[in-house]
Structure 1
Amino acid sequence: MAIESDHRESDSPYVARVWRGQVSGAGSLTSVATSNWELVFWEDAGTVQAAVRGPETTASTARLIGESESFGITFAHGTSMPHLPIARLVDSEVASPYADGRLFVLRGEEWEIPGFENAEDLVRKLVRAGVLTRDPLVDDVVWGGIAKVGSRSVQRRIANATGLTQGAIRQIDRARHAAVLLAEGVPSLEVVHKLGYYDQPHLARSLQRFIGRTATQLQRRDDADQPLSLLYKIEGDERF
């Protein structure tokens, strides 16, 4: 099975990343954990589908058959849809009741499906219509900022906007960061010290839970039979 993928950053405060992918052949894909939620579009066997997909708290396996193309908008922490409580989306998704090559349905309204380069056009329309909202404190705190409100208020606002606790977000994102470093050839002991794991067994448990790989598999890039979903390096990540 061959997988081609591309992704880019966004200048929208509502968006963390925009990505697209193409799969040919049959096989399995390891979907790694992610603390962000997404709006995803894909075409499979000539049928276009759309869904809001929530954060994934563990690695999982997805079966892929035949040719398919996908495109997604990964939203920044703090971005949410008031009509879809995020707690309902954790480890789950809500499919659009209708989609074709041009339109999909969200909050009972039709919206034009954007492309990889103009995804922010849709985001701006959703913001103007009140479909998307944003709590800037959440993204700031998740990235290491200091809040000017009490800790209980911070934790409540993070949970309301992301469906996860700040601790869960940190664990998932740290494991993803570790996987990228190991794939780049950084020794596992150095990753342990750099990212604040207690020891190598602690790192191993984290990788198995959130990435579905061992450190050795990541270092060898041993994913020919079951490739990983999108992993990327975030420049300037100082949380760990």
Structure 2
Amino acid sequence: MAIETTHRESDSRYVSRVWTGRIEGAARMTSIATSTSELVFWSDAGVPRVSVRGPETAASTADIVGDSETFGITLAHGTSMAPLPNSALIDNQWDSPNVTARGFVLAGEEFEVPGVDDAEALVDRLVRAGILVRDPMVEDVVWGGIARVGTRSVQRRVAAATGLTQGAIRQIERARLAAALLEEGTPALEVVHRCGYFDQPHLARSLQRFIGRTATQLQRPDASAHPLSLLYKPRALPDS
């Protein structure tokens, strides 16, 4: 069984991507590692849910029971929820305590549940409310920019905004790029060179840890295998 997904990039500085997903029937899904947080809306047995999910530092398996439709707003590196400590969100999530089909509560304020086309409008409201904050330096240095502060200050600001180190972000994004290239049919040896791995065993260890697949499984998908969560090619390879 496959996951039906759609996704798009965003013109908001606070957002990396907006996506939707749909699964029918009971299944197990492989959730791949991700270095960003996201705001997720879904329905569980007809009950609406809203969560803030933190970065996932390794691939994991999740059980899905019944039909599931999910809508998510993936935040850009350096964007975080001010009321929620990033350290508490690593490999974890925060669930809104009060959700209806029309609204949800975050940091004591009520917001309307958006549609895919309204994602940026919700983000703007969260920014104005002081709930969503952004450190522009973090995204710049993650993707190769030069900071005007010392190395230790950079490390502290990256950790404060993401909950991860620059090295952890690079490892996760590199594995996601490698997996996307392999799915496109790129030979494993070429992926090793393009993504900066030492050799094929190094690539294999990274894929197993962060994607939960081997190179062969990505190049030759097995219809009986657990579906993967949203996998898309990063815009570039982040600096370490």
TM-score, scaled to structure 1: 0.97
| Structure-2 residue corresponding to 1:74 | 74
Q: Does 1:161 align with 2:161?
A: yes
Task: Tell me the CA shift for residue 66 of structure 1.
Answer: 1.2
**1:104 corresponding residue in structure 2:** 104
The structural deviation recorded for 1:12 is 0.2
Please list, as runs of the form range in 1=range in 2, the aligned pairs for 1:187-198 lying within 5 A after superposition.
187-198=187-198
1:38 aligns with 2:25: no
Cα pair distance change 1:104/1:56, threshold 3 Å: same
Which AA in structure 2 matches 1:228? L
The answer to whether the 8 Å contact 1:138/1:158 transfers is: yes
Instruction: Give secondary structure in 2 for the equivalent of 1:117.
Output: helix
Cross-structure match for 2:28: 28
The alignment yields a C-alpha RMSD, in angstroms, of 1.1
Is the partner of 2:63 in helix, strand or coil?
Answer: strand
Find the aligned partners of 1:60 and 1:93 in 2 and give their Cα distance: 14
TM-score of the aligned structures, taking structure 2 as reference length:
0.97
Q: Is the 8 A contact 1:2 1:24 kept in 2?
A: no
Q: Deviations over 1:122-175 (max 9, x none)?
A: 000000110111000000000111111100000000000000000000000000
2:116 match: 116
Query: % of aligned pairs identical?
Result: 67
CA contact (8 A) 2:176 2:234 kept: no
Gaps of 5+ in 1: none
Instruction: Give the match for residue 13 of structure 1.
Output: 13
Which residue of the partner structure matches residue 59 of structure 2? 59
**1:238 Cα deviation after fit:** 4.8
What secondary structure sits across from 1:110 in the alignment?
strand
Superposition deviation, residue 183 in structure 1: 0.4
Partner of residue 233, structure 1: 233
1:186 equivalent in structure 2: 186
Quote the offset at 1:221 in angstroms.
Answer: 2.1
Cα distance in 1 for partners of 2:148, 2:22 equals: 44
Q: CA offset at residue 31 of structure 1?
A: 0.1
2:22·2:69 contact (CA, 8 Å) conserved in 1?
Answer: yes
One-letter code aligned to 1:99: V
> How many pairs are equivalent?
239
- In structure 1, give the amino acid aligned to 2:227: P
- Tell me, in whole angstroms, the C-alpha distance in 1 between the residues paired with 2:171 and 2:56: 12
Partner residue, 2:146? 146
